[in-house]
Amino acid sequence: MMSLWFKESFENFDNLEPAIRYLSSVEDCRLRHGVISLMWQNFISERFKEVILLIEKTGRAPKEREARKQLHMPEIRIVEFLSKCHELLKMLMDDVRDPPPPSQIQLESFIEIAQSHPPSSLQGSITSRDSLVELANRQALVNYHLVLHHYHLAVAAAIQLSSGLRLHILSILFCPIGQRAFFHPLDSHPLIPLEKVDDAVMERRHQFLAKVGLLATIAEQGTDTDRKLARILSCEWNLTVDTIQTTVCYQMSLLSSDKNFLTTTAGDERLRVDWSNSDWKEAVRSFGKIVSALSLHPQFLTPFIRIGGITTQYWGITILD
């Protein structure tokens, strides 16, 4: 099933969903850990790396042409793929937290006999082939903290694409040491400072989640799942949800103030312009009348003063006193 997905992702992308669903029903943690490890090594990790590096390069969701050419999957499937990645990584963490010893699988007697006494005609032409269960049980236990590190990356990438956040580089959410730990084999042990992250990185993480929350509130982008994952990520990164929510509320209040200002001034009699003809000079003077009627701070008047200087110099039209 996963081999077909890997070879022809366009036609067989839907194979990923039942594969993960089957894995979630496996009760033997060590067996499931081994199967997921094999899946990640052979089919998922390289494609995951390609997706992240492309997002890192462009700071946005890949376009259809980029997705088909470089990622071998449709653009509309990328968020789904990232979601499946963090689901697999979450299962790996659950399985390795308190791992049992490898399971002793009892084969049916006729299978044991067939494997130990192959037909004489085939003895010189076939080689021993281990079962999937045996391969899974031989997989080394993954490094929990490295899997968690990749889980954070997968969740952040999925949230960014789903919410429509643009021009954001994922690597800035991690310190340089953490960046170098990405895409290592999950059973390796690179240095990962999960607990000791400098203040600048923490601030960038805070801003990232606040932007995601603002887009979800105002533009109604993202899903309930994304908002839930954002809350999980804020807890994982030791960011309080209250401070993020406060930032979102503050930005919302600023937007509301802007809207109220525009609504108030839209009905102001001083801003009414009587323009009975189509003379462009009258249009410029009307623009000056509007600006003069607004109570603007000096720093906001600067561009209008520059425009007034140009209109006075070239056409003799004064729009500001």
Per-residue pLDDT tens over the stretch 121-134: 555 554 556 778 88
Of 72, 85, 73, 69, which is closest to residue 19 (Cα–Cα)?
85
Is-contact 148 194, C-beta < 8 A? yes
Amino acid 14: pLDDT: 83
Given a cut of 50, is residue 135 above it in pLDDT? Answer: yes
* Lookup: tokens for 253: 């209040």
Tokens 């036609």 belong to: 11
CA-based nearest residue to 8, from 43, 45, 51: 43
Predicted pLDDT at 123: 53
pLDDT of residue 12: 77
Using alpha carbons only, give the angle 220, 17, 83 rounded to the nearest 5 degrees: 40
Which region among 104-113, 150-159, 237-246 has the lowest average model confidence (pLDDT)? 104-113
In the predicted model, what is the mean pLDDT of residues 12-27?
87
Q: What does the pLDDT look like over 166-224, one tens digit per residue?
A: 767 899 999 999 999 999 999 999 888 777 788 899 989 988 888 887 666 554 556 77
- The 8-class DSSP code of residue 141 comes to P
Interatomic CA distance for residues 291 and 297, integer angstroms = 12
Write down the domain spans for the chain.
Answer: 1-97+140-242, 264-315
Q: How far is residue 117's CA from residue 67's CA, in Å, rounded to a whole number? A: 50
Counting Cα atoms < 13 Å in the Cβ hemisphere of 234 gives 21
pTM to 2 decimal places: 0.69
Q: How confident is the model at residue 32 (pLDDT cuts 50, 70, 90)?
A: very high
Name the residue with higher pLDDT: 268 or 141: 141
- At 110 the pLDDT is 44
pLDDT at residue number 179: 93
Q: With bands split at pLDDT 50, 70 and 90, how would you rate the model's confidence at 60?
A: confident
The predicted structure's pLDDT at residue 297: 65
User: Model confidence over 72-91: pLDDT tens digits?
Assistant: 888 999 999 999 999 999 99
| Structure tokens belonging to residue 157 | 């990438």
* Residue 94, pLDDT above cutoff 90: yes
The CA–CA distances, whole Å, from 302 to 94, 283, 298, 306, 319 equal 59, 21, 7, 6, 13
Pick 95 or 59 by higher pLDDT.
Answer: 95
The 3-class secondary structure across 88-130, one letter per residue, is HHHHHHHHHHCCCCCCCCCCCHHHHHHHHCCCHHHCCCCCCCC
Distances (CA, A) of 64 to 17, 168, 207: 22, 19, 29
pLDDT of residue 243 exceeding 60, the answer is no
pLDDT at residue number 42: 92
pLDDT value of residue 80 = 92
User: What is the pLDDT at residue 265?
Assistant: 47
Q: How far is CA 246 from the centre of its chain?
A: 22
Q: Does residue 142 surpass a pLDDT of 60? A: yes
